[in-house]
Amino acid sequence: MSLEQFKNRNVGTQNYTMLDLGERPKTGWDRFKQVARRSVKLELFTGLKVTFREMIKALFMGEMHTIKYPFEKLPISPRYRAIHEMKRLLESGHYRCIGCGLCEKICIADCIRMDTRYDENQRKEVSEYTINFGRCIFCGYCAEVCPELAIVHGGRYENASEQRASFALFEDMLTPLDQLNQQQEFPGFGAVSPDADKKIKKTPLAY
């Protein structure tokens, strides 16, 4: 749709589809006829029928829609953006974060901070990493900008706690080492697109 169509604010000239509602009664007699017709046709009972049918379906045909929430949970979309997770490398178990600070830079709520240092292996070590969830707006930019797929949005949307800091430290977000085998690659926000290979220009290699 082009922008011009949005800018047309004259209601009625846009491209609406009109429903065929028949003619509205004009005279009193017409109205009487309409009432009489509808009463005789027992249109009201159609409504009753619908609700009754739904009740039968719900009660006897297993189509009850309620999820008993804290006890049952719906699976959420992989693209859902809840509390962040910090991923580890499957091979070594070392965290993936390289401390580049891009998430810190892009964060529009300015809620990410990290402490880094030069470690014994001549690498950049992330000594602490926090997200202030009181400020985080879960926009997902951090996950999108992360070059290592290290920070992703997880599915933990229940973030009520006595302290906001309860799940905001590096350790809290990192995949626990004993659950490393269950760590799943993040397919959602910021993940490599399926056609990434096509978009890359090949660089010559001398090996």
Which residues, 62 to 91, sit near other proteins by CB under 8 A? 63-66, 68
* Residue 117 interacts with other proteins (CB under 8 A): yes or no: yes
Task: For the chain, state the CA radius of gyration.
Answer: 29
Q: Return phi, psi of residue 54, to 5°.
A: -65, -40
CB of 4 to other proteins, least distance (A): 35
Choose the binding region for other proteins from 12-20, 52-60, 81-89, 183-191 (rule: CB under 8 A): 52-60
Nearer to other proteins (CB atom), residue 58 or residue 89: 58
Burial of 170 (C-beta count, 10 Å sphere; 0-12/13-18/19+): middle
**Tokens linked to 160:** 């009520």
Cα–Cα distance for residue pair 37/24, rounded to 1 Å: 14
Choose the binding region for other proteins from 12-20, 72-80, 118-126, 153-161 (rule: CB under 8 A): 118-126
Instruction: Name, in order, each residue with C-beta under 8 angstroms of 96's C-beta and a sequence gap of 6 or more.
Output: 86, 87, 88, 89, 148, 149, 150
- Is 74:173 a contact under the CB 8 Å cutoff? no
Binding-site member from 34, 125, 149, 191 for other proteins (CB under 8 A): 125
Binding-site member from 34, 116, 159, 183 for other proteins (CB under 8 A): 116
Nearer to other proteins (CB atom), residue 99 or residue 190: 99
Nearer to other proteins (CB atom), residue 35 or residue 137: 35
- Is 142:151 a contact under the CB 8 Å cutoff? yes
DSSP code, position 90: T
Nearer to other proteins (CB atom), residue 54 or residue 158: 54
Binding-site member from 52, 76, 77, 110 for other proteins (CB under 8 A): 52
- Is 150:88 a contact under the CB 8 Å cutoff? no
* Residue 205 interacts with other proteins (CB under 8 A): yes or no: yes
> Contact positions toward other proteins, by CB under 8 A?
35, 44, 47-48, 50-52, 54-55, 57-59, 63-66, 68, 98-102, 104-105, 113-119, 122-125, 128, 130, 147, 201, 203-207
